[in-house]
Amino acid sequence: MNVDPLLGKQLGQYIIQAPLGEGGMARVYKAYHTRLHREDAVKVILSKVAHQPEFKIRFEREAQLAASLEHPNIVRVYDAGDANNLPYLSMQYVGGGVLSSLLRQGYALEPGRAVRYALQMARALHHAHQRGIIHRDVKPQNMLISANDPGQILLSDFGIAKLFDSSHEETRMNLSPAGIAASASLTSIGQIVGTASYMAPEQCEGKEVGPYSDIYALGVVLYQMLTGRLPFQAAETTALMYQHVNVQPRSVRDINPSVSEMLAQIVARALAKDPRARFRTAEEMALALETALTTNQLSTINLANNRPPALETLTATPFVAAPVLSASSAIPYAPTANIPSLPTNISTAYTPSAPIVIPIPPRRRKLPLVRAVVLTTFLIAIVVLAGKFLSPAGTPLTPAPVPSGAFVDTFKDNYNHWLNGSIAGGLTADVSNNHYTLSYDNEPNTHFPYPGSVSQLSSSFTLTTQISQEAGNTEIPYGLAFRMQYSGNQMVSCYAFAIHSSGAYIFMRYDTANGQIQSSVLAQGFVSQFRKGLHQSHQLQAMVKKNTFSFTIDDQAVQLKSGMTLTDATYTDGTLGLLVSGPNSRFVVTRVQFDIPASS
């Protein structure tokens, strides 16, 4: 058994701890920074090639390129150095494994998870493209899943990226018999770079590459995530490259019929043979993916009649919470707006010609969903509670019919009769020591705790809460609710404003149709200045002026579609409450304040 000579040794400021992976030019280790007391990833050029100047040049270029990129979905580069004649690069340790590990078993990912990953990668690529950098090796092995947030994915390895204005002569693939015989290895010096399974047609032929080449590769990755297989497979590299240039892939829906038509069109466009028929920019692809997410056009499966994704999928899905009591009753958001379709008659025939140069257009104004890593449709389904709330004797299960005046509740005691004790669906509520603590067991449910002493609200008011998440996945939503209407002890309608601990927010309306609770997304976005993670207390505020709503998070006004206010006249009265979700989460509320303007 060969023992890695670097394990346990010091390299610069690092103690090498464990191997993480190996590529054609370098090996990556988990390492401990002795001065900063931090675990990082360290990439070291393999000793067998470290003496070759071509590899050192590529390695140094990777450091320079990657260090110039600052994006939440790109692995951060900290430093580059040379110790013991070994060039190394230190970077962010992500720790959650690589996407290729998830795909290794040949299983497709849940469509929502696949699209969220592809969306984040598209935004990362767009960031690089705007700075003149093409990745040229987009593949699952270079996509790292965050250990802290499995819904976040980061792009790594810009070692073979090329500046648009680089003066280096591009290596060409010789498709003559002699060239084919010499093309067995794609990682050796003098051969075309990239991994054949993800190469764009123009890249296979050694023609000019551009952002459109990365878009094609991302299309291959999305195809693989949705179907569990690659669009092209062959034993020989040259046969695989021939298919990229000349063969049309099967539709993803032929392999996985549960994939929506919109997603199939997005994949087909990304995989067009002609670069001019693909998305013009990675941002354009991101916007198409975002549309599929926000309109829930992901799958043909109706979750109302089928079991929802497993919990491991839900925990990697921003803004998803299961229903109270019945996980089989989840109802997806069904939009009524017309969604622009993607062209289905894209030409997939590619005739090799002169290099096609597609300029980077001016930066387009993004949709209100600013950061894909955290912004997706927020689905929370509510079902009948069937009288199973457990609360202290004398506490009404429905709001008491008394007028509601202004109040400030700091939970010194429970004079407002908030739901307390063990509550059906895995929630335990406790009012004590100036805290209202809401704790979930392992049930992934959503509740709307409310004060029993508060009845109908005035037409105009301000509702404020101070709340923190103390445990659980940081993608779990929490917030406030108002104009809540009940039938017995079943909530039938309300408005809700919620966040999760990454800084994303959403404004929703819940309605009852045919005896089922359904949710509609009214607005969503991301707060730029936000204290992320657990143990951070946030102030959420809803300002209601009749049928016009506005919101703040930590005194920052949030964007609601085209402005800072939004009007909806569906519901005009009801009570107030909170919104919390499980599983295995805990929230602490220290203040709820209800104010009524003098003119109300």
Kindly state the helix (H) or strand (E) to which residue 285 belongs, with its residue range: helix 282-294
Answer for the pair 77, 66: CB distance below 8 angstroms, yes or no. Answer: yes
pLDDT for 401: 39
Answer for the pair 146, 154: CB distance below 8 angstroms, yes or no. Answer: yes
Cα separation values, 16 from 159, 262, 497, Å: 21, 46, 46
In the chain, the domains with their CATH numbers are 10-91 (3.30.200.20), 97-184+192-329 (1.10.510.10), 382-595 (2.60.120.560)
Which one, of 596, 323, 592, lies nearest residue 451 by Cα?
A: 592
pLDDT for 127: 94
Q: Which token pair is 21? A: 């992976």
Rounded to 5 degrees, φ, ψ at 321 are -140, 145
pLDDT for 579: 93
Read out DSSP for 529-560? Answer: S---SSS-EEEEEEEEETTEEEEEETTEE--B
Residue 513 CB burial class (10 angstroms; 0-12, 13-18, ≥19):
exposed
Answer for the pair 110, 309: CB distance below 8 angstroms, yes or no. Answer: yes
Answer for the pair 143, 156: CB distance below 8 angstroms, yes or no. Answer: yes
Give the integer Cα–Cα distance in Å for 90 and 79: 5
Q: Cis ω on the peptide bond leading into residue 87 (within 30° of 0)?
A: no
Answer for the pair 581, 478: CB distance below 8 angstroms, yes or no. Answer: yes
In whole angstroms, what separates CA 580 from the centre of its chain? 21
**Active-site residues: which are they?**
137
Digitized pLDDT (tens) for each residue of the chain, 600 residues in all: 567 888 989 989 999 999 988 876 788 999 999 999 999 999 888 777 777 766 667 777 777 777 888 899 999 988 888 888 788 889 999 888 889 988 876 778 999 999 999 999 999 999 999 988 899 999 999 999 998 888 999 998 876 555 443 333 333 333 333 343 333 333 333 344 558 999 999 999 888 899 999 999 999 999 999 999 999 988 888 889 999 999 999 999 999 999 999 999 999 999 999 999 999 999 999 999 999 998 888 887 543 333 333 322 322 233 333 333 222 222 222 222 332 333 333 233 333 333 222 222 333 333 333 333 333 334 443 332 322 222 332 333 344 433 456 889 999 989 888 988 888 888 999 999 999 999 999 888 888 898 887 777 888 999 999 999 999 988 888 999 999 987 766 778 899 999 988 778 889 998 887 777 777 888 888 777 788 889 999 999 999 999 999 999 998 888 887 678 899 999 988 889 999 988 899 999 999 998 887 665
Give the integer Cα–Cα distance in Å for 186 and 178: 15
Give the integer Cα–Cα distance in Å for 304 and 570: 24
Give the integer Cα–Cα distance in Å for 110 and 132: 33
User: Would the CA dihedral through 406, 410, 416, 418 be positive or negative?
Assistant: positive
- Is the pTM value of this prediction over 0.75? no
